[in-house]
A and B are shown apart, each in its own frame.
Chain A
Amino acid sequence: MTHAREVVALPATDHEDDELAALRRSWRPRHRGLWGWLTAVDHKSIATRYVATAFLWFLLGGLNAALMRLQLARPENGLVGPDRYNQLFTVHGTAMMFLFAVPVMTAVGLYLVPLMIGTRDVAFPRLNAFGYWVFLIGGVFLFVSFYLNTGPDTGWFAYVPLSGPEYAPGKRVDVWAQLVTFTEIAGLVAAVEIIVTVFKQRAPGMSLNRIPLYVWAILVVSFMIVFAMPAVAMASTMMLAMDRLVATHFFNQAEGGDPLLWQHLFWFFGHPEVYIMFIPGLGFVSSIVETFTGRRVFGYPVMVLSLFITGFVGFGLWVHHMFATPIPQLGRSFFTAASVLIAIPTGTQIFCWIATIWAGRPRFTTAMLFAIGFIVVFVIGGVTGVMIASVPFDLQVHDTFFIVAHFHYVILGGVVFPLFGAFYLWFPKVTGRMLDETLGKWHFWLFFVGVNVTFFPMHILGLNGMPRRVYTYLPEMGWGDLNLLATVGAGVIAASVAVFLVNVVRSAWRGALAGPDPWGGPTLEWATASPPPPWNFRHIPVVESGSPLWSAEAELPVATGLRTDRREFLVTTVLDAVPDNRHEHPTETIWPFVMALAIGVTFIGAVFTPWAYVVGFAFATVAFAGWAWPRGTKPEERVHPGLAREAR
């Protein structure tokens, strides 16, 4: 492998050499139109629709929240009854957690990781397509059920026995249990791809100590997904669904089962889930701060270690959701200690960002405002998080609006603020056009004000005795005014999201052209065109520092030697990213979609009959055979169709 220095040549310029033409021939999608859409495997195409789909669920889940706020605006309001309200908050929580917060993070990761580490695609592009289709089917299934008035209504946590066969007859909870399985499959698939991509496909020279902080964050999260999600997938699919469908008794106390088993399994997933959403947010903030201060984030090793500590300790907190259940005092103290401890790595990162801003040349773009807004909002959720680590205090505010306030500060602050910031940072890369900064600032300030007006009063409501998940309250409780204020705040949030949507549509249509590197960013995704071509980089870059675009003086060293007449990418070693092997990249195929349909038929059918598993098994066998069917040519003979035609 030779390392040649050459100027970053941007593809699609007026002079096209043979190499570029060959790349174009071998990487262009094999099919067009609907068939092309169903067979796509390009990580950028998959990830873009993944993000758009997750954002659609975010809007629909947000609509549920708006209806809940309208219902609670006045005491004894009659807008919706308890049956509808219970579906509203269950579907809101389920959609936001399972269909938005985690998938959108892995989706952005699937877009950015190959670009940031300098490779042509994710490790398993067909698996990637499969993950998306499963996710899409799951989300459509949930919302169609909800709009047909069979939406789940036992909370996003579906505690047994309330969600068991005796107290939740009908199909609502089955919809929930199967939805969880859909999203867990999609999540696990994405996690596996990201782990392998980061470990084996980094650009030559990108040793572990040169990986961008965002990539570290999404890597930690992928490992968390691998360890956390099987717990809930097993609990919901195997145990809850089987209790309901074929009368097993995993959670039935009367037959030797245990309702608390559900809570342990659920929260063993459910608490890490919070960090699964939140850690990519930290990665976004690092990228934003780095780009807009023009300086590497201070304390890189500490930042990386903090991510890992958060990932580890995040698995030791789950019982703090269960302080009101029979847990011995010593055990509760352990979980208090872990819950307090987790504030340290996050605090450390916040201090490092502040130091970076202090030492840098901050540009207050919309993305940067969202990063600063993240700190201002998130730290409120952080300090209330430390408070509720305390068992006695938690027992007062657990399951009250104080908790609603706390985790919305954490999730909106730690997930949605950084995500919006990431949109402003990377939208030019994805679309080739800039988001409008004036609308962006309106979006930021409306969102910032809306979040605080909505959620701050809820702290007080909770302390003053208002429990969560109530569809109404009596006028004499004195909760009316603060609830009305929160509803007004929700309206402001809705307005800010509307501004954002207008901005996205307008800018995608006629925003200013971005060029490859509009912000002067440090990482490799800015070394290629916006939007990037299907092959991402004409030549695989060679990395010599943690911020390659800042240290390479107008020239980025590249590696050559990959074949261009077929889809090929470079495999490097795990620790030092030394070139190791070349690997062929698969082409477009319909089979991931067929496989996802098989999964969809199985799980949706299993809501109604256990025989769905038999039918689904047969269907999936066919799909799997099609996916794995030998294509008839040896790999070395598989040249791109253009050449093959010419040869004939």
Chain B
Amino acid sequence: MLAAATLLALVACGHAVEQSALHPAGPQARKVSDLWWFALIVSTVVYVVTIGALLWAAWRARRREHAGAPLPPDSERRMTRAVAAGVGATVALLLVFFVYDLSVGRTLSPPPGGDPLTINVIGHQWWWEVQYPDTTPHGRFTTANEIHVPVGRPVVLLLTSTDVIHSIWVPNLAGKKDLIPGYTQSVWFQADTAGVYRGQCAEFCGHQHAKMALVVVAEPPAEFQRWLAQSRQPALPPTDSVTRRGQEVFLTGPCVMCHAIDGTPAGSNVGPNLTHLASRRTLGAGTLPNTRGHLAGWIVDPQRVKPGVWMPPNQLAPRDLEALLTYLQSLK
């Protein structure tokens, strides 16, 4: 009971970052959260009754022992009745729980009605590739580690992986689903309130499993459409000598071996697509805030931030680094 009270007190306090199954922001997570509170209350009652019976039995037996009193004559029958009642109650409660659980499962698993937005998410060691498909080639684009969705519209994520098994989990919105190489799975959710919801890989995937996060940005439909239109644009050509130099560093250095910037010859998809890098919130898959200083640190020595990450350290002349940073920061 004390434990349950502590639990209640602790879950009540909020966090700066939204990553909790107990603060649902959509119908999927809400139904599960309701199921959890129901299960917690029933379990607490069951636990208190069981442990109470145990302690009472020990106390009674001890007192009887001290008093030298014999067992009641019909004790066998009473024990049989008590155990049978306990088993009966267990079966009944489990049945109730099972039916409730199936009903929740039934409402959550069918694909959503209406006009869902479909997004492809591809797991990589240790980042998320996010593709927005479209019927026209111009409408398609690829980004990373950040999923924008409109509020109030169901979203279907089609999930797969190119290397090992990952699992996508944004607890405020929905339960997790594995990204398995060779399989395509789907998960759907809907954000009812605008906000930034953090999620994290939930299937152990190697060295940097701990730093493989993403954010889901749920925004009002108009804002989402603006973001969509912006993201569909290729990167603007550099306008001044510094950014031109920066692009040159990018295209002639190691960066281009792994990263793509639409609108330039850089087209590799080994690492995250950087076309609109400057508009993203984080670096290194949710590891660092996207600031100039962090970007510089990440480019020069990513192993310091995420030991074991596939991106190598890059020794650049200070002027080249400055130009590269300016160029990358211009990619809004």
* A residues at B contact (CB < 8 Å): 81-83, 86, 154-155, 159, 161-162, 167, 253-254, 258-260, 293, 298-299, 302, 324-326, 329, 332-333, 336-337, 340-341, 343-344, 347-348, 350-352, 354-355, 357-362, 364, 372, 375-376, 379-380, 383-384, 386-387, 389-400, 452, 456-457, 459-460, 463-465, 467-474, 476-478, 482
Contact = CB atoms under 8 A, between A and B. Distances in A.
B181 to A, nearest CB: 5
A295 B205 CA distance: 52
Interface in B144-202: 163-165, 167, 169, 171, 174-178, 180-183, 185, 198, 200-202
A563 B101 CA distance: 63
B97 A383 contact: no
A83 B165 CA distance: 18
A162 B61 contact: no
B36 A393 contact: yes
A392 B35 contact: yes
A387 B39 CA distance: 7
A324 B175 CA distance: 9
B118 interface: no
B78 to A, nearest CB: 9
Given A83-B207, A348-B83, A467-B169, 16 more contacts: A159-B164, A167-B164, A259-B180, A324-B167, A325-B178, A354-B57, A375-B51, A380-B3, A392-B175, A393-B36, A394-B175, A396-B171, A399-B176, A463-B22, A476-B15, A478-B15
B87 A344 contact: yes
A29 to B, nearest CB: 45
B6 to A, nearest CB: 8
A261 to B, nearest CB: 12
Interface string B240-283: 00000000000000000000000000000000000000000000
Contacts of B15: 464, 476-478
A390 B39 contact: yes
B222 interface: no
Between A81, A457, A471, the greatest number of chain B beta carbons within 10 A of the residue's beta carbon is seen for A471
A472 B79 CA distance: 51
Given A390-B97, A400-B202, A465-B171, A325 B180 contact: yes
B108 A477 contact: no
B175 A465 contact: no
A464 B19 contact: yes
B36 A387 contact: yes
Contact of A336 (B22, B98, B125, B165): B98
Nearest to B183: A326
B3 A361 contact: no
B47 A379 contact: yes
B216 to A, nearest CB: 13
8 contacts: A259-B180, A302-B83, A387-B36, A395-B175, A399-B169, A463-B11, A464-B15, A467-B201
Given A359-B61, A478-B17, A467 B35 contact: no
Contact of B82 (A86, A344, A355, A473): A355
B232 interface: no
Contacts of B54: 354, 357, 372, 375-376
Given A347-B86, A390-B104, A392-B175, A161 B98 contact: no
Given A337-B98, A344-B90, A359-B79, A155 B207 contact: no
B210 A473 contact: yes
Interface residues of B, number: 84
A274 B275 CA distance: 49
Contacts of B206: 86, 154, 162, 167
B203 interface: yes
A347 B10 contact: no
A300 to B, nearest CB: 12
Contact of B90 (A82, A293, A347, A389): A347
A253 B182 contact: yes
B53 A354 contact: yes
Contacts of B10: 457, 460, 482
A329 B17 contact: no
Contacts of A293: 61
Contact of A460 (B7, B108, B183): B7
Nearest to B100: A390
A219 to B, nearest CB: 23
B294 interface: no
Contacts of B104: 390, 392
Given A86-B207, A324-B177, A478-B16, A393 B182 contact: no
B165 A82 contact: no
Interface string B105-119: 100110000000000
A396 B32 contact: yes
A364 to B, nearest CB: 8
A386 B32 contact: no
A343 B165 contact: no
Contact of B181 (A161, A375, A384, A464): A161
B209 A470 contact: yes
- In order of increasing CB-CB distance, the 9 nearest A-B pairs are A395-B175, A253-B182, A465-B19, A470-B210, A358-B57, A383-B43, A478-B15, A390-B101, A351-B86
Contact of A471 (B53, B60, B210): B210
Interface of B: 3, 6-7, 10-11, 15-17, 19-22, 29, 31-32, 35-36, 39-40, 43, 46-47, 50-51, 53-54, 57-58, 60-62, 65, 71, 75, 79-80, 82-83, 86-87, 90-91, 94, 97-98, 101-102, 104-105, 108-109, 125, 163-165, 167, 169, 171, 174-178, 180-183, 185, 198, 200-211, 287, 307-308
A167 B57 contact: no
A326 B180 contact: yes
B72 to A, nearest CB: 9
Given A362-B62, A386-B43, A161 B202 contact: no
A531 to B, nearest CB: 32
A472 B212 CA distance: 12
Given A392-B175, A467-B202, A340 B97 contact: yes
Contacts of B50: 350, 354, 375, 379
B199 to A, nearest CB: 8
A477 B19 CA distance: 8
Contacts of B171: 396, 465
B7 to A, nearest CB: 6
A97 to B, nearest CB: 16
Contacts of A351: 82-83, 86-87
Nearest to B44: A383
A463 B21 contact: yes
B204 A469 contact: yes
A357 B61 CA distance: 7
Nearest to A384: B43
Contacts of B21: 396-397, 463-465
Contacts of B87: 344, 347-348, 351
A473 B286 CA distance: 11
A341 B98 CA distance: 10
B71 A359 contact: yes
Contact of A355 (B79, B102, B165, B175): B79
Contacts of A470: 209-210
A365 to B, nearest CB: 13
A324 B36 CA distance: 18
Given A354-B54, A358-B60, A393-B35, A456 B3 contact: yes
A398 B176 contact: yes
B7 A161 contact: no
Between A456, A460, A463, the greatest number of chain B beta carbons within 10 A of the residue's beta carbon is seen for A463
A581 B140 CA distance: 81
A167 B163 contact: yes
A359 B36 contact: no
A396 B29 contact: yes
A343 B79 contact: no
Contacts of A482: 10
Nearest to A368: B58
Given A81-B307, A299-B83, A259 B165 contact: yes
A398 B175 CA distance: 9
